[in-house]
A and B are shown apart, each in its own frame.
Chain A
């Protein structure tokens, strides 16, 4: 059952809103006028160089150490997409910002030998993302990371990818696989699990799948 909320009747004075706006402004204004005399200003301006504003984007914000950054897909040192489309991040993501299109029945969208699966499409809605880092934590393939600094080869004059996420409409803020991979950069994988598996299988003459008509192992 829905609860009916009784609305308070506003007087004409209240309905004008202008007095309320003015009251709000008064608070801001008083802070604005009194800031220079305040203790905070005194502390910050010890060396007489304090500026209350930042000339963004020429000057960049110093990210506090606790900031986690924004999620991107990474490639390994052979430029292979590490994500195998297990969809665990999609499952764990609290605001459901991630949407993965699995490869489907053909399964042949992978460009890595020995890996059978790779996402056909991978989208993160950066407007939904709460930058919690669960996706990075859950990923069994170390394929998604929250980036919070420049990555190698990245043009330093460009906006930062960790907090300067811009777009002119909602669609632009849904980053697709290519964009996520481009911004994610390279992750130097020490283990290279799939490559190792494939190499082992090859050494045992088990890769690629042997022709069934040929003779079986002696």
Chain B
């Protein structure tokens, strides 16, 4: 689950010495909190610097610290209280005297502190793996499991459940609890996309803090007392904001589950592929979970430059169409790719300069737009793409619903306002100056170029993934790929150039657009393109001004991408 953030190195170099498991290390004195504000580094973070993971449920790097689950208890040693002379107790060699903490009323019993909310003190010793710490963890886990239902066989979280993981690593094999377990409501409908199993909840309140502090929707709370504590919504107020599914991600157990993914597939069968959400111009980073060419879910992938660890529900669930039966999978105009590409080449070679227009889609990758731009340059063609506007929100959703509008602008397919050239193209077709039209991924009949205009053309080359009024009139129809079926890059609203990988195979005869475009471009313009996405990207990075400035290349994009000037 991509919900654990990396601890960022703060700019401040001020450090503080601590001893973790007897090892002397220095850690930054301050660490950014969930809002990026610098706050004192905690015991848990210090251990992370030392390469030791402290088990935790309620702590999440991108949420306010609550300190309520006690899973992160560790035994520490502190300097003593200052004596009457105002100086803390010293060892004989003049160093600070550090005493392991004990309960004040029971001096023989070690006292733990919660790692997630205890600030470091200079000279502090953290016994992260000592027998005392282990015993504390065992006790906390045992108490968490007292009323836990052990539903693992039917629980969607199984396989990525922190309760399972910590039980294996830090728990005991047997339960000493002989009494009857307290039962709580199961399969509670919290909202349109979230299901709650109150018995499985460890009451860490991550979901409540996310809703209140991140999504800004004070929808969840805890009701009842003692062992009857349970997460609930207000009566009659469903949990239905556009970010609810993030709570299923951060819920460390199987208490909150996604209705969409519920009982669909066990997580250990899912192949994970890094991808991007194409729902809007934000371009949230995602991980696709697929098995045997079927996509089962997509989850946010942490990228602090774009989406942090979150994504919106509408984008996350916008994938069902990928496996649709209605996808275009057959060529139209010829039966095989070699013939169709040869015919297209011959026809295009006959076309006169300036008699060609290209309408690309801002849902296409940078590479595809780059290839179309090359074609456009050859014919001095008029180009544009189609704007797609909707509503934005305060968190992630952008009003621009195209994932790659900035790519289209930077590569020169579209001007500042997408769609500004469309009337000119319509006019050109009307008065016969434009004889050939190339359309990618858009139904142009919806955007001012009517069916009757399309009928006038000598040559209409269309590539799309679903049938529409434009594909119906195409002389050559080239079935393309959904984002999950190819590789490529998008440039998001802030100029972040980021890549996505291929998770699925395309249906039937469909092929990735950049593959066949690259062939057409090479045939028509004679330029030597590259036959891999990497090579193509690197070539583009050298030729498009905005990318060249940054010295971009495919490998340097990494998982997070690179920001370019827009």
Q: Which residues of A contact B (CB under 8 A)?
A: 84-88, 90-91, 102-105, 107, 115-117, 140-141, 197, 200-201, 204, 206-207, 209-210, 212-213, 216-217
Which residues of chain A have C-beta atoms less than 8 A from B185's C-beta?
Answer: 206, 209-210
B154 CB–A CB distance under 8 Å: yes
Chain B binding surface SS class: loop
Contact (Cβ within 8 A) A105 B259: yes
A216/B269 contact (C-beta < 8 A), A105-B260, A140-B152, A200-B181 known: no
CA distance A112 to B152 in the complex (A): 18
B268 CB–A CB distance under 8 Å: yes
Contact (Cβ within 8 A) A117 B149: no
Contact (Cβ within 8 A) B263 A105: yes
In chain B, residues 213-251, which have Cβ atoms closer than 8 Å to a Cβ of chain A?
223-224, 228, 232-233, 235-236
In chain B, residues 118-164, which have Cβ atoms closer than 8 Å to a Cβ of chain A?
149, 152-154, 158
Nearest-Cβ distance from residue B19 to partner chain A, whole angstroms: 43
In chain B, residues 420-438, which have Cβ atoms closer than 8 Å to a Cβ of chain A?
none
Over the window 438-470 of chain B, the binary record of Cβ atoms lying under 8 Å from chain A Cβ atoms (1 yes, 0 no) is 000000000000000000000000000000000
Contact (Cβ within 8 A) A104 B264: yes
A209/B186 contact (C-beta < 8 A), A116-B154, A200-B181 known: yes
A141/B153 contact (C-beta < 8 A), A91-B268, A217-B224 known: yes
Contact (Cβ within 8 A) B263 A204: no
A sample of 18 more A-B contacts (CB under 8 A), given A86-B153, A102-B264, A217-B224, is A84-B153, A85-B263, A87-B269, A90-B269, A102-B263, A102-B265, A103-B263, A104-B264, A107-B262, A141-B153, A197-B149, A200-B180, A201-B183, A206-B185, A209-B185, A212-B233, A213-B235, A216-B223
A–B Cβ pairs within 8 angstroms, 12 of them: A84-B154, A86-B153, A87-B269, A107-B263, A116-B154, A116-B263, A117-B154, A141-B153, A200-B183, A206-B185, A209-B185, A209-B187
Nearest-Cβ distance from residue A205 to partner chain B, whole angstroms: 9
Which residues of chain B have C-beta atoms less than 8 A from A86's C-beta?
Answer: 152-154, 158, 266
Contact (Cβ within 8 A) B154 A216: no
Nearest-Cβ distance from residue B319 to partner chain A, whole angstroms: 14
CA distance A56 to B235 in the complex (A): 69
Which residues of chain B have C-beta atoms less than 8 A from A105's C-beta?
Answer: 259-260, 262-264
Contact (Cβ within 8 A) B188 A140: no
Chain A binding surface SS class: loop
For A88, A116, A210, the residue with the greatest tally of chain B CB atoms inside 10 Å of its CB is: A116
Residue of B nearest to A141 (CB): B153
B184 CB–A CB distance under 8 Å: yes
Nearest-Cβ distance from residue B185 to partner chain A, whole angstroms: 5
CA distance A197 to B153 in the complex (A): 14
Nearest-Cβ distance from residue B158 to partner chain A, whole angstroms: 8
CA distance A85 to B151 in the complex (A): 12
B182 CB–A CB distance under 8 Å: yes
Nearest-Cβ distance from residue B221 to partner chain A, whole angstroms: 12
Q: Which residues of B contact A (CB under 8 A)?
A: 149, 152-154, 158, 180-188, 223-224, 228, 232-233, 235-236, 259-260, 262-266, 268-269
CA distance A141 to B181 in the complex (A): 20
CA distance A128 to B262 in the complex (A): 30
CA distance A213 to B188 in the complex (A): 13
CA distance A90 to B269 in the complex (A): 10
CA distance A90 to B291 in the complex (A): 13
CA distance A88 to B235 in the complex (A): 38
Residue of B nearest to A209 (CB): B185
Contact (Cβ within 8 A) B269 A206: no
Contact (Cβ within 8 A) A213 B184: no
Residue of B nearest to A103 (CB): B263
Nearest-Cβ distance from residue B431 to partner chain A, whole angstroms: 53
CA distance A216 to B232 in the complex (A): 11
Contact (Cβ within 8 A) B263 A91: no
Nearest-Cβ distance from residue A105 to partner chain B, whole angstroms: 6
Which residues of chain A have C-beta atoms less than 8 A from B184's C-beta?
Answer: 206
Contact (Cβ within 8 A) B263 A209: no
Which residues of chain A have C-beta atoms less than 8 A from B260's C-beta?
Answer: 105
Which residues of chain A have C-beta atoms less than 8 A from B154's C-beta?
Answer: 84-86, 115-117
Residue of A nearest to B233 (CB): A212
Which residues of chain B have C-beta atoms less than 8 A from A102's C-beta?
Answer: 263-266
CA distance A88 to B159 in the complex (A): 11
Which residues of chain A have C-beta atoms less than 8 A from B186's C-beta?
Answer: 116, 201, 207, 209
Which residues of chain B have C-beta atoms less than 8 A from A217's C-beta?
Answer: 224, 228
Contact (Cβ within 8 A) A207 B183: yes
Which residues of chain A have C-beta atoms less than 8 A from B233's C-beta?
Answer: 212
CA distance A18 to B185 in the complex (A): 77
Which residues of chain A have C-beta atoms less than 8 A from B182's C-beta?
Answer: 204
A116/B187 contact (C-beta < 8 A), A105-B259, A105-B260 known: yes
Nearest-Cβ distance from residue A68 to partner chain B, whole angstroms: 23
Which residues of chain B have C-beta atoms less than 8 A from A91's C-beta?
Answer: 266, 268-269
CA distance A117 to B268 in the complex (A): 18
Nearest-Cβ distance from residue A211 to partner chain B, whole angstroms: 10
Nearest-Cβ distance from residue A116 to partner chain B, whole angstroms: 6
Which residues of chain B have C-beta atoms less than 8 A from A84's C-beta?
Answer: 153-154
Residue of A nearest to B259 (CB): A105
Nearest-Cβ distance from residue A182 to partner chain B, whole angstroms: 23
Nearest-Cβ distance from residue B150 to partner chain A, whole angstroms: 9
Contact (Cβ within 8 A) B263 A216: no
Nearest-Cβ distance from residue B223 to partner chain A, whole angstroms: 6
Nearest-Cβ distance from residue B415 to partner chain A, whole angstroms: 44
CA distance A103 to B259 in the complex (A): 13
Nearest-Cβ distance from residue A123 to partner chain B, whole angstroms: 14
A140/B183 contact (C-beta < 8 A), A102-B263, A104-B264, A213-B236 known: no
CA distance A183 to B86 in the complex (A): 83
CA distance A91 to B266 in the complex (A): 10
For B183, B184, B235, the residue with the greatest tally of chain A CB atoms inside 10 Å of its CB is: B183
CA distance A141 to B151 in the complex (A): 11
A140/B153 contact (C-beta < 8 A), A116-B186, A116-B187, A206-B184 known: yes
Nearest-Cβ distance from residue B225 to partner chain A, whole angstroms: 9
